[in-house]
Each structure stands twice: as structure tokens, then as C-alpha cells.
Amino acid sequence: MAAAIGLFGAVVAPLSVQATSAPKLVKHTEPEINLVEAGSIPGRLSVYVALYNRLFQRFGLDVHLVEASSGTQAASLLSGGAAQFEAGQVSDALNQVVAGVPITAIASMSNRISNSMIVSPTLQSDLNSKGLAALANVPIGITGVGSGTWEYAELLAKQANLSTSQINLVPIGANQVTVYQDFVSGRVKGLVFGDPVDLELTGTGQAIWAADEQNVSHGVAKKYPTLVKMAKEPYIFDWCFTTTSYAHSHPVIVQDFANAIIAAQNYILHHSAAKIGSELAQNNPSFSAFGSGYLTESVKRMVKSGAIVSSVIPTKAGFSNAVAYQAVTDPALSKIPYSQVVNASYAIKAKKIVGNKS
């Protein structure tokens, strides 16, 4: 595996911008619009498609992708005005609200949870006989405490009735090369990440599946009703949001941002996974270390699971399921109502403008 920026974002510079070769603005007066994320993952596929196929430019937006080193930094950039939009999980937006920053979510990017856990092949026998209880005291790599990977690891532990003291979670950061080496070297014997890293490690026989929300037949997930339920139901895994103050002061820009995202969703549904995978490899250093087959499979899994839909309206069901999951580890998030953070009108208007013709 070649060296590359990590799937969940390497710690590079405080502000590392992926240039999109955008033309001069012809529609909006903003000099540039920064969209921040904390690491590139397939759940944000529509953002990358919109960037690499100049769909933002179609609506007069000069958008630059800013890589933050953590979700905390991404939130700081958004609330401080250094970024105008954020692409992240529901918990990222809700944590902003808890911190006193009103948020407006405008477009859902993936409508299914896409976490997974892989483990060392040496655990195959125990996994078969004990299920997820086999994870007791096994060093499990996560990106960091409080992260989405941490939350998923905690959820798996609860399915097996494992106590906190029985779970050995090891924060190993977000650098793809370091994470890969930590797993292969045996420093950790379990890893909570997602595509395409899990596909490569299982595909090369260096890991086996413990649980996979995009395919519950992998590992032992199908033995647990909660995991099966999460895989089948709407779940907003990633969405785009902005501060409510920015949405109020720049309504046309926010509307056109939603237009571009829904155009990207339709692009994904009407083009081959191989083509989109190739675009990721050519334009995004977080994915360029992977073979085209793994990237193609990543896109296929997103579409097959129902994560990519032709409407990006953040649904109440998807929101409720995401909040219920996040609230397991952070009860304060469950108190925030859908109506306080979501403005579905942007996506509704975008649907009328773009439809399925992109």
C-alpha cells in the first residue's frame, strides 16, 4: 500500500485546501467559499463529485475543500467564519448547537450508516463461537475518543454486554499509513474505520470482518437485531450544514449549494461506479493509495445500501435514528429537535430545479 493522506484525514497543515480549478465567479460576490471536513470518507461522496465535476461552478459557486485535522477543528473553522459550510456527521452539527452556535442543515449526503469493524484473522474462531463478546480486552484502533469510530466501537460492545472496563480502545489517529501499519504490525487487533481501508485489508487476507453496516452478512452483525435494524433504516450518516446566521445572510448561496449537492447525488446514480472511483483516485489524495477495484467497490456499496438517493432532504426518520445512536454516548444530543437544526426547504427547492436530469 502506497503512502497517502489517511482516509479519515491526516494531520497535515491547519488549513489544507484541495484546489478545484474554479473559474472566476459570475453569479455570487463571495471571493471563495470554504467547505470543511475532517478527513475524506465515502459518506461524503456527493461533495467530491460536485467538486471534481464542477457542479458547484454550474451554480456560480467557487468552492474549496478544506481538510481539518479533527472534527473539533472543523467545528471551530465553521463557527469562526473561516469556513462557510461543513460536511460531517449529525453529531458534528448537534455539538455546535450544544456549544451555542445555531446550525442549519441543508442537505443529506448519505442515508445509511457506513461504519465497519475488522479484526485480525487470529480472532476468527473466537468470533464464530462468542460473537462480539470475542472483542473483550482486544486492542481496537479508533481515530480518537469522542469520534464516530469510538461511538461505533462502544455500540458493538453494548451488543455483546461488554462493560467499559472490558473494552480496550486505542486512539491511533487518522493518518492512513500509521493506521495501516498499526493494524498490520499487531499493535491493534481490531479496527473501526470504513471503506475503502476495510475492503483492502479484508481483500488481501490481512483482516476479517467483525461487523459491517453496509453488508450485515459480513462478520457476525446479522446476529444482533440492533445492527441489522441500523443497516436497513434511514440514517443520516453525513450531511452538509452551515451556521444559521450564514444561511440567513446568504440564502441564495445556500440554495445553490443545495442545488449542487442534489445534482451530484443524481450524477452518482447515473454514472458507473468505476468512473466515479477513478475520479476519486485522480483528484483526492485520501483515496489515491487504493487500487481502483477497492474504490469502485466503495461506490457500489454506497449505492446498493441505499445511502445515495435522488433527494437530499434530511428526513426526520434518518435524523431520529442518527440522534438515537449518538445519544447512546452523549445523551445531551437527544434533546435537540429536528426542526431546530434542519431547513428542508433548500433541498425541496433544489429538487424542483435539478430533478433527475444532472
CATH code for the part of the protein at 16-112+235-354? 3.40.190.10
Q: Residues 34-49: pLDDT tens digits?
A: 999 987 888 899 999 9
**Mean pLDDT score across all residues of the chain:** 85
Give percent above pLDDT 70 in the chain. 90
Strand, coil or helix: 3? coil
Q: Is 339 helix (H, G, I), strand (E, B) or coil?
A: helix
Among 114, 113, 124, 130, which residue's Cα sits nearest to residue 189?
124
All 3 cell numbers of residue 99?
A: 456549544
Peptide bond into 196 cis (omega under 30): yes
State the pTM of this model.
0.85
For the chain, percent of residues with pLDDT exceeding 90: 54
Please tell me the predicted confidence (pLDDT) of residue 305.
87
For residue 75, what pLDDT is reported?
86
The set of cell numbers assigned to 214 is: 453496509
Burial class of residue 185, CB neighbours in 10 A (0-12, 13-18, 19+): exposed
* pLDDT at residue 6 in the model: 32
At position 332, the amino acid (one-letter code) is: A
**Residue spans per domain, the chain:** 16-112+235-354, 116-232
Residue 342 is classified by DSSP as B
Is residue 189 predicted with pLDDT exceeding 70? yes
pLDDT digits (tens, 9 = 90+) for 191-224: 998 888 899 999 999 999 999 999 999 999 999 9
pLDDT for 176: 66
Contacts of 294 (CB under 8 A, 6+ apart): 195, 196, 199, 200, 203
Q: Residue 116 pLDDT > 60, yes or no?
A: yes
pLDDT surpasses 90 at 138? yes
Provide the β-strand partners of residue 193: 116
Lowest-pLDDT range of 12-21, 296-305, 316-325: 12-21
Lowest pLDDT segment from 124-138, 262-276, 305-319: 305-319
CATH tag, 116-232: 3.40.190.10
pLDDT of 15: 36
CATH topology match: 16-112+235-354 vs 116-232: yes
Q: Give the pLDDT of residue 355.
A: 52
- pLDDT tens digits, one per residue of 11-29: 333 333 343 333 344 467 7
Which helix (H) or strand (E) element contains residue 179? helix 176-185
Most confident among 98-102, 141-145, 173-177, 330-334 (mean pLDDT):
98-102
Residue 346, Cβ density class (10 Å: 0-12 exposed, 13-18 middle, ≥19 buried): buried
User: What's residue 42's pLDDT?
Assistant: 87
Q: Which residue has the higher pLDDT, 281 or 358?
A: 281
What is the mean pLDDT of the segment spanning 113-130? 95
Asked if 188 and 142 count as a contact pair (C-beta separation under 8 A), the reply is no
